[in-house]
Structures are given as C-alpha cells and as structure tokens.
Structure 1
C-alpha cells in the first residue's frame, strides 16, 4: 500500500486536508447548510405539535420523534455525501486529489470523518432548537448521544461514498439514494413505535440496521428503548465495520 511509503505525519496531514476541505465546503454552501435543517424543523413543529395529544411511554409525540428527527438530519446529509463525490468526479477535482501520493483509503477516511463532524454540528444545532421548543431533556446524556451520532454518521457516510463510487451522474445518485434511503428511514421506528407495525413490516423494521441506531438515540435522549442496548451497539458495530470495508474497497477501485 502507498501509505506504507509515507511518513505517518504526511498521511495525517493529507487526512486533515481532505476533512478540512469537506467541512469548509459545507459551511460555505449556504443553501446546503440551511436546507439540512428545514425538513427536520418542519417535522418537529408541524407534525410533532399536531400529534402532541398522543403519548408514547409517557412522552409526547414531539418528544418521541425528536431522536428520529436527529437521525433524519444526519442520515440524509451523510448518505447524500456520495453525491458530492460524483460531482467531484465530474469536474475533475477528485482526479487532482487522487494523483497525490496519498493512499485512497486515507482520502476515503477523510471524507467519511468530515461527515461525522458535520453530523455532530447538525445535532447540536437541533438540540438547541429542541430545547427552545420544550423537548424533554431530563434524561439526556449528551456525551453518549454525540458518541452514537459520530459512529452512526461514519457508517452512513461510508454507504453514501460506496454508492457514489459506483455512480457516474449526480442525477443517478439522487435517484438510487432516494430509493435506498426513504425505506430505511420510514421502517426504522424514527416516527412511530415499531411494536405497533403489522407482522411483515415489523419483521422488516427489525432487519433494518437503522432501527437500532434510532433505538440508541432514543435511549441516550429519553432513556427509553425497544431492543436490548448491548444488542443495539453490536448491530451498530457490525454495520460500521461492514460499511467502512465496503466503502474503502469500492473507493479504492473507483474508476474516473
């Protein structure tokens, strides 16, 4: 591997440069920055307040869906990270990066890591908004929440980069990403209790790795959960390892 021929600090500088570029681009692109919060806020204000008469384990519907809304925010931004990889391929920015002596795995890691940092920022902003809105934060463990968000976003970004490595057009990515993303989200229990789903959908929800991320988020914020917490972490770990291995392999073999 090329990385063996590089000094550790050179590799780290390359990793840092890639991550810093991606984070800088996110904050400079105001429409992208603002739009990442519009959907979640609409869900919380309109749908959450509209069904506030429903109670879930003693919590209002707005409280109950808040962890799912956090997931919606960083899940969509992390997976659609792959669309920006496709754009970089189209305008030859990626080609310029790949001619550097950096191993492709370092470039992949820098991109995935930057997605996790952006996800943490998005979650902190929504936590502030949730506090203003009156979300129940009596049992929240912020350190645990951000830990879960970091690794969940890392896995989701790796999936997005995997798809982006295979696609040649942003439009194709948008189509495939949407087909892949929305079923995962709506069958995750983010917006409802999966125990109330009919048999077949309940089975699909339990086969969905995102369901276990939602469960961890809900546990870290509200103190309630559907599955065994240790099992949730095991699924997250397996999903993370699988995503990183798949993503790094596809990114390494990507054709420009």
Structure 2
C-alpha cells in the first residue's frame, strides 16, 4: 500500500477521533445512557432472580450493556457520513487522488476505535461495581467479540448512511434495527423460556454473548 493511502487512512481515523473528543455532549450521552442501565437498573434489581440466570442481575446484564454501548456508538458513525454529505466534505474527499477503499478503512477504524473506547469505559465501571472478571481466555474472547462487534456495526452504519440523504431518517432506521437486536440478545432477560423466541434469537449475533 502506498504511503499516500496510509496517510489518507490515518487522516480519516484522526478526524473521527477529533470529532469524538470535541463533542462533549456525545461523550456524555454515550456513556451516561449505558451507565444508567448498568448502575441503576443493575444494582436496583441486583437481588432479582430470573429463570435461566446465574449470579446476580448486574452480573447478568453487564456483557449486554457493554455490547449495547459498542453497537450504538459504532452505528452512530454513520451520522458523520450524512454530515459530510450535507456540507460537501464527502464530495471533496471522493475527488481526491486516493482510493475509496482507504477512505472507508479510515472511517471504519476511527468509528471502531471510538466505540471500543466507550465499551472499555463501561467494562471498567462494571468491574469497579463488583462484576466478576473471567480468566485470561475469557478476557481474550471478550476482546475479540468487542472488536468484531465494533467493526461490523461501523460497516453497517456506513453502508446505511451512504444510502440515505437526511438526518431525521437515520436515527429512526437505526432504532428500528437495533432495538430487536438488543432485546433478542438476552442482554436484559433470558430468552430460553420460549422455544420460538430462542430460535429467532439464535440468528442474532449479539445472542452469542450468552452462548
């Protein structure tokens, strides 16, 4: 790969990082929302016992909350594409003497990095409030799952945003896709009590959090 292509990837990655750092409201919202679920809902229902659940409730929902944080943050990367299309930056980048592959890779790396940072913040908070950690192999699997989730969701968000023209429609479509994935992932409650539900959930990639 040519040095210009590598530089283009780095510039696109750096732009995503600077956007994230400068957007204080985005940082706050993306961290406070999952923190609300983890601390208030998790600790509030810590003694609750659900069928098919082992351990307390905060331990049960912690992996799902981390996945939710990464998922929403990753797909939110698509908003930057809509923003750049609206103000002409994307057109300027596309006519530059660099490949579109480098542009996509740079944006994907930037979005995934931001999502993983937020995911690790929630993960560290979960450990801080008493969620037990796994062994070295389990931690490695967790890291692999987080990375795969981030890159896959960023890619989906970029594809979705490239097909849309307005800001209003993107959050609606995002929620339409994300909510079924989230609630069929067993993040908040086990789905093993119903065979039909479990069959549907099996095709949900986030369901692999539990299996």
If the length of structure 1 is used for normalisation, what is the TM-score? 0.76
Which of 3, 8, 11 is residue 14 of structure 1 equivalent to? 8
* CA distance 1:202–1:58, shift in 2 (3 Å): closer
Match of 1:189 in 2: 186
Q: Is 1:165 aligned to 2:162, yes or no?
A: yes
Deviations along 1:174-231, whole A, 9 cap, x unmatched?
A: 11111111111111111122212x233222111212212x23xxxxxxxxxx2xxxxx
Q: Is the 8 A contact 1:188 1:205 kept in 2?
A: yes
Q: Is the 8 A contact 1:116 1:151 kept in 2?
A: no
2:189 counterpart SS class = coil
Q: Is 1:45 aligned to 2:39, yes or no?
A: yes
Once the two structures are superposed, the pairs formed by residues 239-250 of structure 1 within 5 Å of their partners are: none
Question: Matched residues in 2 for 1:193 and 1:203: separation?
Answer: 13
Higher relative contact order (CA 8 A, sep 6+): 2
Once the two structures are superposed, the pairs formed by residues 134-145 of structure 1 within 5 Å of their partners are: 134-139=130-135, 141-145=138-142
* CA distance 1:202–1:143, shift in 2 (3 Å): closer
Question: Matched residues in 2 for 1:137 and 1:28: separation?
Answer: 32
- Structure 1, unpaired ranges of 5+: 1-6, 216-225, 227-256
Question: Matched residues in 1 for 2:53 and 2:198: separation?
Answer: 19
Residue 109 of structure 1: CA displacement?
1.2
Residue 128 of structure 1: CA displacement?
2.3
Q: Is 1:209 aligned to 2:205, yes or no?
A: yes
Residue 120 of structure 1: CA displacement?
2.1
Question: Matched residues in 2 for 1:58 and 1:211: separation?
Answer: 16
Question: Matched residues in 1 for 2:180 and 2:141: separation?
Answer: 27
Residue 57 of structure 1: CA displacement?
5.1
Which of 128, 131, 152 is residue 127 of structure 2 equivalent to? 131
1:194 counterpart SS class = coil
Residue 138 of structure 1: CA displacement?
4.8
2:168 counterpart SS class = helix
* CA distance 1:150–1:91, shift in 2 (3 Å): same
Question: Matched residues in 1 for 2:177 and 2:134: separation?
Answer: 35
Q: Is the 8 A contact 1:65 1:190 kept in 2?
A: yes
- Structure 2, unpaired ranges of 5+: none
Match of 1:36 in 2: 30
Which of 82, 86, 89 is residue 90 of structure 1 equivalent to? 86
RMSD in angstroms over aligned alpha carbons? Answer: 1.7
